[in-house]
Amino acid sequence: MNRLLIIGPPGAGKGTQATKISEELSIPAISTGDIFRANIKNQTELGREAKEYIDAGNLVPDSVTNRMVRDRLAQDDAARGFLLDGYPRNTAQVEELDSILTDLDQKIDAVLLLTADNEELVQRLLGRAADQGRSDDTEEVIRHRLDVYAEETEPIVDLYEARGIVTRVDGLGTIDEVTERLLSAVR
């Protein structure tokens, strides 16, 4: 299995786990949040388009995000597999991803769903805010991002459940314990 999605609420540890799993499986980890942040830092046009949405904890418009993901998945290093982190995040993006993969003659093998309860998530994100100073890690924006996840992203899990490709993994525990759980689901 080498075409994977990792889905989970903000703070569940997707980014950390995506990096470890992609190394283990020798596939690129593609994080839409990281791509946006790099573009904001480098003051590109894409960064300018995304910044106000990210800082408010809202989704960047699909037109912007979809184009970015289509371009990224067409790059050579993604031809033999990838782990997508942070996309799709709503039902329209699920449809777009289906269309992108159909055009590339590919399909998703597995969806890893990383779970954790809301108060744990808020505490982790507030801790990260203190260390890393991400502009969208204030308590108010964190709570809003959790609401956006519940309203827009959680419903897409059902779409993938219907395809029989979802594995739920408990995100509580040490980083290595969680990595082992995820790897045993895809090996």
Residue from 70, 124, 128, 143 carrying the catalytic annotation: 128
Instruction: Work out whether 160 is an interface residue with ligand ADP (CB under 6 A).
Output: no
Residue from 51, 70, 124, 134 carrying the catalytic annotation: 134
Instruction: Work out whether 33 is an interface residue with ligand ADP (CB under 6 A).
Output: yes
Interface size with ligand ADP, residues (CB under 6 A): 17
> Binder to ligand ADP among 13, 57, 82, 182 (CB under 6 A)?
57
> Binder to ligand ADP among 3, 20, 145, 181 (CB under 6 A)?
145
> Binder to ligand ADP among 6, 54, 83, 114 (CB under 6 A)?
54
Q: Report helix angle 154-162 to 91-104, nearest 10.
A: 40
**Catalytic (active site) residue 181:** no
Q: Identify which of residues 75 and 184 has a Cβ nearer to ligand ADP in the complex.
A: 75
| SS3 call for 31 | strand
Closest Cα to residue 177, out of 60, 20, 10, 54?
20
**Whole-angstrom Cα distance, residue 91 to residue 19?**
25
Q: How far is the CB of 30 from ligand ADP (least distance, A)?
A: 11
Q: How far is the CB of 100 from ligand ADP (least distance, A)?
A: 13
Cα–Cα distances in angstroms (integers) from residue 65 to residues 46, 47, 69, 122, in the given order: 9, 11, 6, 26
> What DSSP designation does 13 have?
S
**Whole-angstrom Cα distance, residue 153 to residue 135?**
21
The answer to whether residues 135 and 125 touch, using CB atoms and an 8 Å cutoff, is: no
Give residues in contact with ligand ADP (CB under 6 A): 10, 32-33, 36, 53-54, 57-60, 65, 86-87, 89, 93, 136, 145
Q: Which residues are catalytic?
A: 14, 89, 128, 134, 145
